Structure 1
Amino acid sequence: MDKSRGKKVMVAIDESEFSLYALDWTLQNLRETLEDSKLVIFTAQSVSDFGYLYASSYGAAPIELVSSVQEHNKKIAEALLEKTKGICSQYGVTAITVTEVGEPKEVICEAVEKLKIDLLVVGSHGRRGLQRVFLGSVSNYCVHNAKCHVLVVRKNE
């Protein structure tokens, strides 16, 4: 019996060229695997830093303004997922799209568990040294914390 049947592959994306490259790489290089698997495209809606809203309104940001920012973030995530569905359809692949609100590295790993993902694919921004220390690395976090295999796709420059 083929053990790859019924596997779930998840590609975590954001607005960067690196994550879209990882999606494209997955569609090109894992085509046979995807024929018998489910593909999930995931994006995180970052938790907005509302500190500037509270500061600009002397500590009491109107709820309508906060709701408007959250709705804007949701629309951006939905538009990104629609774009990726179009990319997938060019390869003849139908993908399930999922978005969650939260710190990207954490909600990606939570989604892996919740959706019972077998392989997580993430792009690498290629940060090194101090930039990586200060900005962190979603891919590094996922490699060490996701409860599945993780494939980090790096775009060659």
Structure 2
Amino acid sequence: MAAEGVEEKGRRTKVMVAIDESECSRYALEWALHHLAEPLASSLPLLLFTVQPFNTLGYIPAAAAGYGSAHALAAVPPAPGLIKSLQEHQRKIALSLLESAEDLCATKGVVTEKITEVGDPKEAICEAVEKFKINLLIMGSHGRGALQRFYENGSI
């Protein structure tokens, strides 16, 4: 039943799996490969998509930067080398995630295309769906139930 959606009425469907470091994300990819492997293997490349979050280190506490005591209130801009190092680390994590996902897809004979963006994951995923004209988006859940989501941020 799920496989019917990948190639309905002779139209080839573009499928994207959004991945991150979570176990739920890995499960979503495994689910897609289990339920859609045959049609994906004969379809367009499966798009593997991950987002590197913005580096939000605008300022760090003075004490954390090594200036003053733990009670110092002044903010110090982080060293440019620190920001560059963090960005490079995030890039390596993203590439590693994509390579691991690509290896898993290869075991099922599924050809992939890897894409990584920098930004807010919610916005980047939505933009990618529009940009690449995705027909089917597969992504994991964070594992929280509706009540927990409601109490955390007021929405389900």
**Corresponding residue number in structure 1 for 2:93:** 76
- Secondary structure at 1:43 match in 2: strand
**Corresponding residue number in structure 2 for 1:25:** 31
Q: Is 1:11 equivalent to 2:27 in the alignment?
A: no
Select which of 46, 50, 62 maps to 1:43.
Answer: 50
How many percent identity over aligned positions? Answer: 51
TM-score (normalised: structure 2): 0.78
Q: Which amino acid aligns with 2:120?
A: E
Q: Which amino acid aligns with 1:108?
A: I
Higher strand share: 1
Alignment of 1:92-107 (within 5 A): 92-107=109-124
The answer on whether the counterparts of 1:5 and 1:36 sit within 8 Å (CA) in structure 2 is no
The answer on whether the counterparts of 2:46 and 2:112 sit within 8 Å (CA) in structure 1 is yes
- The offset of 1:135, in angstroms, is 6.3
Distance of 1:119 and 1:128 partners within structure 2: 23
Work out the number of aligned pairs and report it: 138
- Secondary structure at 1:75 match in 2: helix
Q: Deviations along 1:12-41, whole A, 9 cap, x unmatched?
A: 011111111110110110123312233100
- Secondary structure at 1:127 match in 2: coil
Structure 1 residues not aligned, in runs of 5+ = 141-157
- The offset of 1:51, in angstroms, is 4.6
Q: Which structure has the bigger radius of gyration? A: 2
- Residues 100 and 89 of structure 1, relative CA distance in 2, 3 Å threshold: same
TM-score (normalised: structure 1): 0.77
